Structure 1
Amino acid sequence: MSILHRASFYTSAARLDQLPPPGAPEVCFVGRSNAGKSSAINVLANQKRLAFSSKTPGRTRLINLFGIPDPLDPEQPLGFLTDLPGYGYASVARDAREEWAEVLGAYLRQRSSLAGVVLLIDIRRGVTDLDKRLANWIAPTGKPVLALLTKADKLPYGQRIKAVFAVKQELADIGA
């Protein structure tokens, strides 16, 4: 059994000061609303309802940490998978969007235990302007960024191959 399969909910936070002190490494999942961040965490953890996912965009509204237990000391997390609220969802009030942007920006730039970023991109949309802005914004931190294409099952094989090629080109152009 993979150590990720033992992941469990650790905490939720609306603000950075509500997060546990930096310590164990964190890998965060970021992307547009409804890109599949929570679903990706569930697949990695081989659990159906670890991170709550929904067909409704904008469901994740807090920073959710899922602890990966240390096999030698199960009380202490070895690391965290972090589910972040999505961006680009127009039906959320403007004030809420701005507040999320501020909190998420601070998390991505200032969280010393952040070890890596998984940028989820809906293959049907390709790399959006918001995705490019985020990648360019994260670049100065030097944190590794992994692009994960989601929703590939929604495209026929030929379109999927073309879309993957297009995304690779766009990401190469921005240095991601």
Structure 2
Amino acid sequence: MSILHRASFFTSAARLDQLPPAGPPEVCFVGRSNVGKSTAINVLANQKRLAFSSKTPGRTRLINMFGMPDPLDPENSQLGFLVDLPGYGYASIAQRAREEWADILGGYLADRPSLAGIVLLIDIRRGVTDLDRRLANWIAPTGRPVMTLLTKADKFPYGQRIKAVFAVKKELADIGALNAVPFSATARIGLEEATQQIENWISPQVVP
């Protein structure tokens, strides 16, 4: 069983100073509003309702942390965390609110000491949008490892998926050694590769 399947809700925070002290490795999920972050977290954790998506895209303002307990630790400490960051950039949200979210996202990506890896979600049908580029601009200076999940990959045939991966890697080359994975929660495309990468970030020594 994947260690990700042990994930359960740990805490929510509206501001960075409300987060628990940095500790076990964290893997965050970031992307434009309505790109499928909650769905991706749920399928990776093999749970239906671990992460919730708002019915109104862009309304989720909390940082949600999901912990994976260490079953061998009597203190029930955490092996690591999956972190669902607020979706960014939905047009109907007031400018001030968007700026506040930008500060939270940028601050977390740049300054969180326990951040071990970043999962950047991009809709494969849209490619790299201006909002995705803005997220990439926050990520690039951090030097943190990144995996891009190209969501809704089931909408493209195989050959078109490969072309999309090449295009994203080329456009986001400044992030570094970018691992781009076609991903579909419904068709379970890319699930194994994404799981392996996240597990390696959290705890390379753990054997599920």
Q: How far 1:173 sits from its partner (Å)?
A: 6.4
Determine the C-alpha separation between the residues in 2 that align with 1:164 and 1:54.
Answer: 28
1:131, 1:81 → 2: CA distance?
A: 20
Give me the TM-score of the superposition, normalised by structure 2: 0.78
* Contact 1:34/1:55, CA 8 A, preserved across alignment: no
The residue identity in structure 2 corresponding to 1:117 is I
Matching residue of 1:20: 20
CA deviation string 1:83-131 (max 9, x = no partner):
0111120111111111111111111111111111110010011011222
Task: Output the CA distance in 1 between the equivalents of 2:174 and 2:81.
Answer: 31
Cα deviation for residue 41 of structure 1 reads 0.8
CA distance in 2, matches of 1:133, 1:20: 27
List gaps (5 residues or longer) in structure 1: none
Summarize the Cα distance change of 1:114–1:95 in structure 2 as closer, same or farther, 3 Å threshold.
same
User: How many equivalent pairs are there?
Assistant: 176
The structure in which a higher percent of residues are strand is: 1
Aligned partners of 2:58 and 2:89 also within 8 Å: no
- Quickly say closer, same or farther: Cα 1:173–1:113, change in 2 above 3 A: closer
The answer as to whether partners of 1:41 and 1:51 remain within 8 angstroms in 2 is yes
1:21 and 1:57 map into 2 onto residues whose CA distance is 29
Residue correspondence of structure 1 range 55-74 to structure 2 within 5 A: 56-73=56-73
Q: Give, in whole Å, the separation in 2 of the partners of 1:60 and 1:156.
A: 32
Tell me what 2:195 maps to: none
* Inter-CA distance 174–108: structure 2 relative to 1 (3 Å threshold): closer
Match of 2:121 in 1: 120
Per the alignment, residue 10 of structure 1 pairs with 10
Question: Closer, same or farther in 2 for the Cα pair 1:173/1:95, shift >3 Å?
Answer: closer
Task: Work out the percentage of aligned pairs sharing the same amino acid.
Answer: 84
What's 2:155 paired with?
154
Which deviates the most, 2-11 or 55-64?
Answer: 55-64
Q: Which amino acid counterpart does residue 33 of structure 1 have in structure 2?
A: S
Contact in 2 for aligned 1:132/1:174 (Cα 8 Å): no
Q: Which range is displaced more, 38-47 or 157-166? A: 157-166
Opposite residue 71 of structure 1, the aligned amino acid is P
Q: CA deviation at 1:49?
A: 0.4
Cα RMSD over matched residues?
1.8
**Separation in 1 of the partners of 2:103 and 2:129?**
20
Separation of aligned partners in 1, 2:162 and 2:59: 30
The answer (yes or no) to whether the contact 2:28–2:115 under 8 Å persists in 1 is yes
1:18-167 matches, within 5 Å, as 18-54=18-54, 56-73=56-73, 75-167=76-168
Gaps of 5+ in 2: 179-208
Could you tell me how far apart the structure 2 residues matched to 1:4 and 1:159 are? 30
